[in-house]
Amino acid sequence: MYLTKEEEQILNGEAGETLRQAIGILVALGDIYGADRLIPIKSAQIAGVSYKTIGDAGLEWISDLQGRVKVPAILNPAGMDLEDWERLRISPEFAEKQKLIIQTYAKLGIRCECTCTPYTLEGFDTSYGDHLAWSESSAVSYANSVLGARTNREGGPSALSAALLGKTANYGLHLDENRVPEISIHVEFPLKGSDYGALGYIVGKLAGSKVPVFHLKTTPDVDELKALGAAMAASGAVALYHVEGVTPEIRRLNFEDPEEKITIERKQLDEVYETLNKATREPELITIGCPHCSATELEKIAKLLKGKTVSKELWIFTSRELVKRYPEYIKTIEKSGAKVVCDTCMVVSPATNRYSCVMVNSGKALAYVPGMCGAEAVYGNMEMCIEEAVGGNTAKKEGGSH
């Protein structure tokens, strides 16, 4: 791998131990994956923030780092709401460790708003063709697929290293040849809302790490694309997808349709929704906001909850910036007894571990909640989730339509 004279000096430790370690990580990855050089990045998004996932070993590693990031960098969700951690009954011991992790990242100049939807925040604009080092898998998928930017699915340490250097190794999805569709997915019936999360949950398992191209009967909006990508990244390892006529790269470049073709049937989606009726117990907790809710989703939830009172725990996850920007939605949602929670999510917070059955409207949460939180997960669309929280199992009794 070619290094400039300055990069060689950094690798030799002439710019300090932190940068030596950082470039060492990027060069090692570059050598493994055949990168020719390091390339500049526009921004970084760093996972490995929740004390639940990184523990003391992770805290120790980041505590030893010195210096400042060279590009805008932001954190992925932490294990708790940083301003109101007691609300979801996080223990003081956990909170103490989590605060230490955040303070350590802050010292490196990283923006400590913890969200998996950085692309919705001011100052984090991402455009077609930008090279990035993002690590949360749904954000990676959104950046590559919906925005047409270029990032590999970085690990926490490699995203942090890239932020400290302002560069990443040029391999994988930074290169044109790895962005070409490899598997063609056909859906011959209309899709709406959470159908996209269910579709992603199915296709991720079939596609693995291949690049799918979708041929759909309906045009998804950005929230639906967000849900589709998040689910495929969790049930499989899809970091880039295209939707014919919709996503930017396939609209600019004339990709040939791949030979491998799969048709998805309505009954396959029905099976995902059937998790609600087949659950061994009633959902005790309902969560929305995986990935973090957009302004449009908050508006929709506020409308659905207006004038109602929840009878079950309902947690809505979003970014702090959106909470500040849309106080009227938050007020309406919280008047119902639901909790709007920032900086964290149902998967990376230990708060979810207290529940044995969790209802979600996210294919990603459906894939991760059982393993990460030890709870059964069931699926419904946003309306079914709200109905379950308000009416307690109404959606299930009525058979749940989507």
Instruction: Give the pairing of strands 167-169 and 38-40.
Output: antiparallel
Give least dist CB 236 to ligand F3S, A.
15
Site string for ligand F3S, 148-177 (x = CB under 6 A): ------------------------------
Of residues 62 through 91, those in contact with ligand F3S by CB under 6 A are 76-77
Q: Which stretch binds ligand F3S (CB under 6 A): 29-37, 92-100, 205-213, 285-293?
A: 285-293
Where residue 172 falls (left for φ over 0; alpha for ψ -120 to 50; beta otherwise) is left
d(C-alpha 25, C-alpha 43), whole Å: 18
Helix, strand and coil percent figures for the chain, each rounded to 5: 45, 15, 40
Q: How far is the CB of 290 from ligand F3S (least distance, A)?
A: 3
In the complex with ligand F3S, the residue whose CB is nearer, 205 or 397, is 205
238 near ligand F3S (CB under 6 A): no
Q: Is residue 342 at the binding interface for ligand F3S, with CB under 6 A as the rule?
A: no
- Least gap, CB of 291 to ligand F3S (angstroms): 4
345 interacts with ligand F3S by CB under 6 A: yes
* Maximal C-alpha separation, the chain: 68
368 touches ligand F3S by CB under 6 A: yes
Determine the interface stretch with ligand F3S among 67-75, 241-249, 303-311, 364-372 (rule: CB under 6 A).
Answer: 364-372
Rounded-to-integer distance, Cα 22 and Cα 25, Å: 5
Neighbour order of strands in the sheet with 111-114 = 111-114, 73-75, 44-46, 133-134
Residue 319 CB, nearest approach to ligand F3S (Å)? 10
Nearer to ligand F3S, 23 or 348 (CB): 348
Asked if 136 touches ligand F3S (CB under 6 A), the answer is yes
Among 82, 140, 169, 290, binds ligand F3S (CB under 6 A): 290
| Rounded Cα–Cα distance for residues 194 and 363 (Å) | 8
E strand spans, 338-379: 339-342, 357-360, 376-379
Size of the site for ligand F3S (CB under 6 A): 16
Segment contacting ligand F3S (CB under 6 A): 145-153, 242-250, 259-267, 341-349?
Answer: 341-349
| Bond prior to 92 in cis (omega within 30° of 0) | no
Helix H or strand E encompassing 231? helix 222-235
**Helix-helix angle 17-33:156-165, to 10 degrees:** 120
The total of other beta-carbon atoms located within 10 Å of residue 110's CB is 24
138 contacts ligand F3S (rule: CB under 6 A)? yes
H/E segment holding residue 206: helix 195-207
**347 is a site residue for ligand F3S (CB under 6 A):** yes
Per-residue interface string for the shown chain with ligand F3S, residues 296-335, x marking contact by CB under 6 A:
---------------------x------------------
Residue 34 Cβ vs ligand F3S, minimum distance, rounded to whole Å: 29
Query: Which residues, including other chains, have CB under 8 Å from residue 234's CB and lie 6 or more apart?
Result: 137, 138, 201, 204, 363, 364, 367, 368
Contact residues toward ligand F3S (CB under 6 A) are 76-77, 116, 136, 138, 230, 290-292, 317, 345, 347-348, 364-365, 368
